[in-house]
Amino acid sequence: MSYSTARLFDRATPPHIVTLVLLAGVSALNMSIFLPSLPAMTEEFQTEYGIMQLSISLYLAFTAVLQILIGPLSDRYGRRPVVIGALAIFALASLGCYLSPTIEIFLTFRLIAAAVAVGMVMSRAIVRDVVPMEEAASTIGYVTMGMSLVPMFAPTIGGFIDELFGWRAIFLFTFLFGAAMAVLCWLDQGETNKAKSVNFMAQIRDYPELFTSPRFWGYALSAAFASGAFFAFLGGSPYVASVVYDLPPTTTRYLFGVPALGYFAGNLFSGRYSISIGVNRMILIGCVLLVIGMAASLLVTAAGYGSALTFFGFCTFVGLGNGLVLPNATAGLLSVRPHLAGTASGVGGAIMIGGGAALAALSGSLLEGGNGSFPLQWVMLLSAVASLVSIFIVLHREKAIRPNA
């Protein structure tokens, strides 16, 4: 099989690239579409805003846990049944959010809706099932390029639905979207896992083969620390924009999209050149760009020339670097042990989200101590340096395995 043979609505071939983009996109959509409605939801449920924000933090934590489970399940039973089953659960949970009378019931269904994390995990594993590592990096680049646009527009779509029909209609929309995606995958997604595990015990016996591999951890940590710089930006940039530079919300909502533009460009570059340049070199280039961008941001601010324009402008390097690192590092960690691609995808995704959530919380707490934007810039720079160190682990290991590499 290869993606040159994939045909839409043909279960004898791999899922079409459009299906994979939508599959990855529905995961990103569900994470952010309701954010503009949080104040209205807080008021209707008669709760505190901090309690309402659990729908974000607990959701991220549950997503990380589910990614660890989804991968092994797909290695055992196949990608197709896991994707369709998880999308059905997500659709029903969205309907539960729509009908929830209390905050407790809403949060319960919101956590169940994290089953949509299947989109992020399986879109990557499916690609690696079908194509070799370099081509996988290219295809994943195109998939995540489409996915990168979703967070830019999802809150706008949610705000528009809320304004016209109320916040509950947002979850009716996600119910319909999830149901439509389940039908699409039923019609289009051919099974790509041709080497299913015999049973879970046999699969568990293979885990040390993956988890003791320095290359797996090098790829996983490189991706985690690169995305950690972006998560730190998400956690700290609202404070920098509103408190440090006193920007109005109408301006900041545009500036927050700057890294997404860089991410789109990086994924486009990965899609076009990963095969010719190579996975490891693409990761190295992305890490170096990350370090250069954040080091320059810190030096400009330290020299007294810092401004909102320079801070957010240099954050373009965060998106660009991630666009180069993430698709290639993901293809790399999936290729260490191809028969455990689902497990590797789930564990790698959990490390990225868990580490990113921790860095986001760290950057937010450090900024409250004052010192302007410096704490956030230091966290982002150190995370970028750690990503660069991690890919050198892979390069060193491959040089040891293949002296002429």
For the cut 70, the answer to whether the pLDDT of residue 98 exceeds it is yes
Cα 338 to the chain's mean position, in Å?
21
Q: Are 169 and 292 in contact (CB under 8 A)?
A: no
* Selection from 11-15, 153-157, 247-251, 383-387 with the highest mean pLDDT: 383-387
- Quick one: 55 and 135 in the same domain? yes
Separation CA 128–CA 281 (nearest Å):
19
Instruction: From residue 390, give the alpha-carbon distance in Å to each of 15, 273, 357, 364.
Output: 33, 22, 19, 25
C-alpha Rg value of the chain to the nearest Å: 21
Number of folded domains in the chain?
Answer: 2
Tokens of 64: 């990380």
C-alpha count within 13 angstroms, C-beta hemisphere, residue 128: 30
DSSP run (H or E) holding 372: none
Express each pLDDT in 116-164 by its tens digit: 988 888 888 888 788 887 778 788 877 877 666 676 677 778 888 988 9
* Selection from 31-45, 66-80, 231-245, 310-324 with the highest mean pLDDT: 310-324
- Quick one: 98 and 212 in the same domain? no
Over residues 11-31, mean pLDDT: 86
Residue 382: which pLDDT band, with cuts at 50, 70 and 90?
A: very high
- Quick one: 304 and 252 in the same domain? yes
DSSP state of 244: I
Over residues 269-285, mean pLDDT: 91
Q: Are 258 and 322 in contact (CB under 8 A)?
A: no
Q: Is residue 35 part of a domain?
A: yes
* Selection from 69-83, 131-145, 176-190 with the highest mean pLDDT: 176-190
For the cut 70, the answer to whether the pLDDT of residue 58 exceeds it is yes
Instruction: Select from 196, 230, 252 the last residue of a domain.
Output: 196
Q: Is residue 140 part of a domain?
A: yes
Residue 208: which pLDDT band, with cuts at 50, 70 and 90?
A: confident
Give the per-residue pLDDT at 242: 78
Tokens of 45: 């449920």
Tokens of 357: 């959530």
* Cβ within 8 Å of residue 228, ≥6 positions away: 352, 355, 356, 359, 383, 386, 387
Separation CA 367–CA 239 (nearest Å):
7
Residue 6: which pLDDT band, with cuts at 50, 70 and 90?
A: low
What is the distance between the terminal CA atoms of the chain, rounded to a whole angstrom? 28
Give the per-residue pLDDT at 151: 62
Give me the residue label for tokens 């289009």.
Answer: 188
Nearest in space to 190 (alpha carbons), one of 4, 8, 345: 8
Instruction: Select from 173, 196, 219 the last residue of a domain.
Output: 196
Q: Is residue 12 part of a domain?
A: no
Give me the residue label for tokens 């994390």.
Answer: 117
Q: Is residue 202 part of a domain?
A: no
- Quick one: 41 and 157 in the same domain? yes
- Quick one: 163 and 225 in the same domain? no
- Quick one: 394 and 265 in the same domain? yes
Over residues 218-231, mean pLDDT: 90
Q: Are 138 and 270 in contact (CB under 8 A)?
A: yes
CATH number for position 215:
1.20.1250.20
- Quick one: 69 and 149 in the same domain? yes
Sign of CA dihedral 72, 78, 80, 86: negative
Nearest in space to 20 (alpha carbons), one of 135, 132, 147, 117: 147
Give the per-residue pLDDT at 292: 97
Phi-psi region of 382 (alpha: psi -120 to 50; beta: other; left: phi over 0): alpha
Express each pLDDT in 230-272 by its tens digit: 888 877 777 788 788 888 766 766 777 788 788 889 988 988 8
pLDDT > 70: percent of the chain: 92
- Quick one: 359 and 239 in the same domain? yes
pTM for the model stands at 0.77
Separation CA 215–CA 269 (nearest Å):
24
* Cβ within 8 Å of residue 360, ≥6 positions away: 231, 232, 234, 235, 236
Q: Is residue 4 part of a domain?
A: no
For the cut 60, the answer to whether the pLDDT of residue 95 exceeds it is yes
Dihedral angle, C-alpha 270, 272, 276, 279, nearest 10 °: 20
Q: Is residue 251 part of a domain?
A: yes
Q: What is the CB neighbour count within 10 angstroms for residue 20? A: 29
pLDDT > 90: percent of the chain: 36
Instruction: Select from 196, 224, 248 the last residue of a domain.
Output: 196
Better-scored residue on pLDDT, 324 or 206: 324
Separation CA 51–CA 104 (nearest Å):
10
Q: What is the CB neighbour count within 10 angstroms for residue 387? A: 28
For the cut 80, the answer to whether the pLDDT of residue 167 exceeds it is yes
- Quick one: 290 and 144 in the same domain? no
- Quick one: 284 and 304 in the same domain? yes
Q: What is the CB neighbour count within 10 angstroms for residue 351? A: 22
Q: Which domain holds residue 140?
A: 17-196
